[in-house]
Amino acid sequence: MSEAGPHSSGTIRRAVVWSYVLTGGNFAVTGVVTFVMAAFVPPAEFGVMALALVWVTFAQMLMQHGPAQAVIQREDVTGRHFDAAFWSTLGLATAFAAILAAIAPLWAIWNGTPTLAYVCWALAPVIVLNALGVIPDAILRRRMDMKRISLRVLTVALISGVLGVGAAVAGLGVWAYAVQQISMSALTALVVWTVTEWRPRWGGIGPALGDLRRFSLHSLSEVTAFFVSSRIDALVMGAFFGPAAIGLYRFAVRIVEMVNSVAAGGIGQVSLADLSRLTSDRDAFGRRLGQFVHAAAMLMYPALGILAATAGPLLRLAGEEWAPAAGALRVLCAAGAITMLGSILTPAVQAAGRPGVGAVIGWVEAAVAAISIVAVGLWMRDAAVGSQVLAIAWTVFAVQGVMTVVYVWVALYRVLRLTARVVLLPSLPPLVAGLAALGAGLLIESLLGAGFNVFLGLLLTGFTAVGVAVLLLTGLDSRARGLVVSLVRRG
């Protein structure tokens, strides 16, 4: 079996639509679940789970960006390439799970949280369960067959969310998150095998594994660098701050990441496969990349502006103990707006066969972030929890902002040989809409005052920010305006 060839525009549109059905549905489900569980689980317990998930998330990144990424990017693949990718991914996951189980006590001692070791042991099987579905999922993404998996995965998210909420209401604390994670991984592994006909075979995978190795190693280096730079806060914070500060900060990060997964994630799930087929046509490559950046910006910039505007009442609605994270959430929204460009350009650089570029810049960012956060940790060790969280957020914003500018310049001008005008200029209207939404929301919040009803305040602030964002986006962006007109006509 060999798969190659460009995708039709209709196939790409359907893939993008179903990709957004998946990511948007996941955002809705996980967003509701996250806030409901937060009402029953205090920040310190969330912090313990965040520290355990650091390594589970790292393992998942390795699984998705090693051989799996190679079979998506490679122009011609056979069944043997899929076999090699599956068995190497599963072997790597098993080894990683065993290592996590072994180092769990040391990780708990580093963070001064004995319970953390037990949570890590409970989550170690999740790494293997996640690996079982990575290659079947990669095959579907290569074919841009997102429809077959979207609704099933959303059902899994809903079921696992209900189980997690039930456990939280029952008072299980941090173990409620463990219930959610384990059930989601097990059900997802089961579902993905029901929607693909491919089954792995053993033997004779050496040559195919060699074909994938070069790209896989560069991709793994890049994702490891990204993990260290994006998770250095959690890796280091435990040595200086308590679980409550970590929980508040990681909760704010999780909210921004959910928005990012909808805006940039939906594009990212199809862009690598599509751009990899256009590398021989630079003009077509540039136009398509510009379309991907613009589509992500239309969703992400207004959404982040609205989120930043409503950060205060949104977190107070989850519980007053989460309110100290409001300032950090706003700063992290700004960081997310900056790093969106890098998250979209990364698949483009990988499609061009240059994943090592991102790895080099990622490792530099990781080193700078580590030094900066250690310095802030020493400086803010005895400060109030809210101040600690805000200081880390500003540090991350500064580091990610500078390194994203460097990465965008290198990716566009040195690797892809494209101009910023073609790729970035269409994103200005969404950026203006997002900033206006932030300003309008903050104005309404200040007029309402601190004593106003939290729920009504959230509604008024949110509706105002959304209204301003929609009006400006449709007024300034012709593509957004055309989409609205099309929807109105269909209605």
Residue 442: the pLDDT is 92
Q: Name the residue with higher pLDDT: 291 or 140.
A: 291
Lowest mean pLDDT among 87-91, 162-166, 339-343, 377-381: 339-343
Beta-bridged to residue 77, according to DSSP, are: 3
**264 in Cβ contact with 257 (< 8 Å):** no
Q: What is the mean pLDDT of residues 61-86?
A: 72
In this predicted structure, the answer to whether residue 487 has a pLDDT above a threshold of 60 is: no
| Distance, CA of 329 to CA of 323 (rounded, Å) | 10
CB contact at 8 A, 156 and 191: yes
Outline where 276-384 has alpha helix (H). Answer: 282-309, 311-318, 326-351, 355-379
Strand, helix or coil for residue 78: strand
Q: Between 137 and 187, whose confidence is greater?
A: 187
Q: Percent of the chain scored above 90 by pLDDT? A: 24
d(C-alpha 148, C-alpha 150), whole Å:
6
318 vs 71: CA distance, rounded Å: 42
pLDDT-based confidence at residue 306 (cuts at 50, 70, 90): very high
pLDDT of residue 182: 93
Q: Rounded mean pLDDT of the chain?
A: 81
* pLDDT for res 194: 80
**Confidence check: pLDDT of 209 > 80:** no
Convert the pLDDT of each residue in 10-48 to its tens digit: 555 555 555 555 666 666 677 788 888 888 888 889 889
If one counts every other C-beta atom within 10 angstroms of the C-beta of residue 410, the result is 18
Residue 419: pLDDT band (50, 70, 90) is confident
Other C-beta atoms closer than 10 Å to the C-beta of 386 total 16
With the C-alpha atoms ordered 159, 161, 166, 170, is the resulting torsion angle positive or negative? Answer: positive
240-294 tens-digit pLDDT: 888 888 889 989 988 888 877 766 665 665 676 677 777 777 778 888 888 888 8
The residue-averaged pLDDT of 144-159 equals 73
* Mean pLDDT of the region 228-248: 80
Mean pLDDT over 130-151 rounds to 74
Q: Residue 16: enclosing H or E segment and its boundaries?
A: helix 9-38
Q: What is the mean pLDDT of residues 110-114?
A: 86
Q: Could you tell me the residue range of the domain that residue 31 belongs to?
A: 2-490
Determine the average pLDDT of the residues in 220-233.
Answer: 72
321 DSSP 8-state letter: G
CA distance 38 to 52: 17
Over range 105-120, report the average pLDDT.
Answer: 91
Least confident of 136-150, 174-188, 358-372: 136-150
Quote the pLDDT of residue 2.
47
Q: How many domains are there within the chain? A: 1
Q: What is the mean predicted confidence (pLDDT) over 411-438? A: 85
pLDDT at 1: 45
Question: What percent of the chain stands above pLDDT 70?
Answer: 80
- State yes or no: pLDDT of 448 exceeds 80: yes
pLDDT at 483: 66
Q: Are 110 and 241 in contact (CB under 8 A)?
A: no
Q: How many other C-beta atoms can be found within 10 angstroms of the C-beta atom of residue 155?
A: 14
Question: Residue 37: CB partners within 8 Å, gap ≥ 6?
Answer: 164, 165, 168, 176, 177, 180
d(CA 242, CA 47): 9
Q: Which of 331, 345, 328, 330 is closest to 405 using CA atoms?
A: 345
Provide the H-helix boundaries in 133-146.
134-142
Would you state the pLDDT for residue 17? Answer: 59
